[in-house]
């Protein structure tokens, strides 16, 4: 295991943590997947906010030529019990289980998704055709755990298998993906950032995150993974993004370590986030096709956070 900075995760960190007293203390699990040709992809997110008594559960399903199918539950009860990572209420259930620390995680869920041919409609009250959605997926790590130096957070490049069902269509999932886990005070409405992860056709992976406040020293961290699984940390994280009138990314030029690549969004899956005091931030996530300057191609997910006043 690589010891990066002061935070070295242990097997216990795959589970829940004792919350702080802050209103916006939260704990979060993201798990995504993307077919190499972008024909299908998606992500789930569980957010626990014990001091608000709430849990957030998201499912986003996309693909080339497919409309966004989005589940956003922001009023679920925070699961009771120090270890509970599951919930079952009318119409919605989810369960996360880590069967092997930093190696294997399973996620299952049943819920209702809203079909959004125009993904920007996710920034408004959700309205559209509703379909049952379910998934049963397993993330198996392809590299060592990557802990952040300045936050209680870690990332794992992975391979994802299982199935996703939307309405009467079932999609077999067998592709690269990413999962991460973080905990602490997370104020979505404070500053903008970019997060990116992906996989290339030579078997390599990459991930990076950076703040994007203008004229302020940035926080940047990331890594690359060779086809044989060797992870190398980097602080070189560059991003120049174009956005549309709804703040969705339309193209980006990025660099993570020695990998320079273009990101072309194929499937948008944004979410509108409303603070307890009414502030709103737009959180566009997109499955992207990646093309490196040396000719490799791949896929993955990128996100931007646009709180009030940004960009």
Whole-angstrom CA distances from 202 to 103, 193, 249 are 22, 28, 26
pLDDT band at 6 (very low <50, low <70, confident <90, very high): low
For residue 169, list its beta bridge partners: 166
Residue 135 pLDDT exceeds 70:
yes
In a domain, 12, yes or no: no
* CA separation for the pair 83, 222 (Å, rounded): 29
pLDDT digits 0-9 by tens, 33-44: 999 999 999 999
pLDDT band at 7 (very low <50, low <70, confident <90, very high): confident
In a domain, 310, yes or no: no
Residue 307 pLDDT exceeds 70:
yes
- Domain of 106: which CATH number? 2.40.370.10
In a domain, 19, yes or no: no
Domain count, the chain: 1
In a domain, 284, yes or no: yes
pLDDT given for residue 189 in this prediction: 96
Whole-angstrom CA distances from 239 to 220, 252, 263 are 11, 7, 10
- For residue 132, the tally of other CB atoms under 10 A from its CB is 13
Average pLDDT on 265-278 reads 97
Residue 15 pLDDT exceeds 90:
yes
Residue 2 pLDDT exceeds 50:
no
Q: What is the mean pLDDT of the chain?
A: 95
pLDDT given for residue 218 in this prediction: 76
In a domain, 31, yes or no: yes
pLDDT given for residue 287 in this prediction: 99
pLDDT digits 0-9 by tens, 222-268: 999 999 999 999 999 999 999 999 999 999 999 999 999 999 999 99
Q: 230 lies in which domain range? A: 24-305
Average pLDDT on 40-51 reads 98
* CA separation for the pair 247, 269 (Å, rounded): 12
Residue 5 pLDDT exceeds 70:
no
In a domain, 17, yes or no: no
In a domain, 9, yes or no: no
Closest CA to 122 of 309, 286, 307: 286
Q: Considering the entire predicted model, what is its pTM?
A: 0.96
pLDDT given for residue 213 in this prediction: 84
More confident residue, 54 or 6: 54
In a domain, 217, yes or no: yes
pLDDT digits 0-9 by tens, 95-118: 999 999 999 999 999 999 999 999
């Amino acid at each position: 295991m690589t010891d990066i900075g002061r935070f070295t995760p242990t097997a216990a960190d795959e589970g829940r943590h004792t919350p702080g007293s802050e209103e916006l203390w939260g704990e979060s699990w993201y798990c995504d997947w993307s077919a190499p040709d972008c024909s299908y992809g998606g992500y789930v997110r569980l957010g626990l906010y014990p001091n608000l008594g709430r849990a957030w559960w998201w499912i986003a399903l996309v693909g080339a030529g497919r409309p966004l199918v989005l589940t956003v539950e922001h009023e679920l009860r925070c699961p009771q019990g120090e270890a509970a990572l599951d919930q079952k209420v009318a119409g919605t259930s989810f369960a996360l289980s880590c069967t092997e620390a930093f190696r294997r995680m399973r996620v299952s869920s049943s819920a209702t998704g809203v079909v959004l041919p125009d993904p920007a409609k996710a920034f408004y009250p959700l309205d559209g055709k509703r379909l049952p959605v379910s998934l049963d997926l397993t993330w198996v790590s392809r590299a060592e755990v990557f802990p952040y130096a300045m936050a209680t957070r870690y990332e794992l490049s992975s391979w994802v298998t299982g199935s996703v069902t939307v309405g009467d269509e079932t999609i077999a999932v067998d592709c690269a993906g990413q999962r991460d886990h973080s905990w602490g005070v997370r104020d979505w409405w404070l500053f903008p950032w970019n997060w990116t992860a992906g996989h290339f056709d030579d078997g390599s992976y990459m991930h990076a995150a950076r703040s994007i406040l203008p004229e302020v020293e940035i926080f940047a961290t990331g890594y690359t993974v060779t086809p044989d699984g060797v992870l190398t940390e980097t602080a070189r994280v560059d991003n120049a993004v174009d956005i549309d009138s709804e703040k969705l990314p339309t193209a980006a030029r990025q660099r993570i370590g020695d990998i320079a690549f273009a990101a072309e969004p194929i499937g948008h899956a944004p979410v509108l986030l409303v603070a307890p005091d009414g502030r709103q931030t737009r959180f566009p996530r997109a499955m992207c096709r990646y093309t490196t300057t040396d000719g490799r191609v791949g896929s993955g997910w990128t996100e931007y956070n646009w709180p009030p006043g940004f960009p």
